[in-house]
Homo-oligomer: A and B are copies of this chain.
């Protein structure tokens, strides 16, 4: 199971009751963060999942509302006692941006592994399987999907056929390799096909480019920007390379996702629910995100 918390829902600037858009994922106690604007550490603190197990931070792009909280967060992670390295993934130029911001946090007790992307890539960090997709925001910007794999069921018939001592079965079942009498046995020799895992996808900021549809396809949860709720603000959304609610919902529908959460609202959009029906008219399972909206997604039975 995967815990998901939409940390904030504001775009452009943090507001007194609305922090900047970011996403926190927790999987078997390990943490992944997407974006880190000013104040993200405050709302993470409210959430109470801690900081020490934060293994990876994904940055969508370098507009301040998506990265300005990084030095403060990293200092707080350091104060939490972390000494293991942290991986930060983002567009090209990430090293320069992170190094510049860390002018005010020059001494962290952990290493930072920076990964710069120029094109869509895939990474595995712990149990998080991460894919990126370049989107359209007038500067290098990436959408992300996170996939949590689920192993197949253990198949005792297959295990018997290997003629391995029974004591090794549980080792293979845990996904570990067994060495026995000079031979190597891989776990997949005793497991059925992988079962459906959990997929989350996240897109902000971007125009609703067509390549997003296969990228987000069949997500359990699609978190997408909707900077304006009103249909008639589409020209403004086009100008600033954002999306309106209806466009996010169209992506959700075309990608056949299970559920859409809208986020990254304009500061002028004081009551996003007022326009939720503009999304629901296109995709029924649309919901307005709000700060620290949480869900625990289970593997399907």
Contacts and interface: CB of A to CB of B under 8 A. Distances in A.
A64 to B, nearest CB: 4
A72 B10 CA distance: 13
A64 B75 contact: yes
A97 B103 contact: yes
- From A13, A45, A96, name the one whose CB has the most chain B CB atoms within 10 angstroms: A13
Interface stretch (A34-42, A116-124, A147-155, A228-236): A34-42
Nearest to A72: B38
A67 interface: yes
A102 to B, nearest CB: 9
Contact of A13 (B13, B41, B62, B104): B41
A87 interface: no
B104 A96 contact: no
A104 B42 contact: no
B64 A72 contact: yes
Interface in A65-87: 65, 67-69, 71-72, 75-76, 79
Contacts of A64: 71-72, 75, 104-105
A101 to B, nearest CB: 7
A45 B68 contact: no
A63 B13 contact: no
18 contacts: A12-B79, A13-B75, A13-B79, A14-B72, A15-B45, A16-B45, A37-B72, A38-B38, A38-B69, A64-B71, A64-B104, A64-B105, A68-B71, A68-B72, A68-B104, A100-B100, A101-B101, A101-B103
- From A46, A63, A67, A72, name the one whose CB has the most chain B CB atoms within 10 angstroms: A72
A56 B47 CA distance: 35
B104 A62 contact: yes
Interface in A1-37: 12-16, 37
Contacts of A68: 38, 68-69, 71-72, 104
A19 to B, nearest CB: 8
The 3 closest A-B pairs by CB, nearest first: A100-B103, A38-B72, A100-B100
Contacts of A100: 100-101, 103
A97 B67 CA distance: 17
Given A38-B39, A65-B72, A101-B103, 5 more contacts: A13-B41, A16-B46, A64-B105, A68-B72, A101-B101
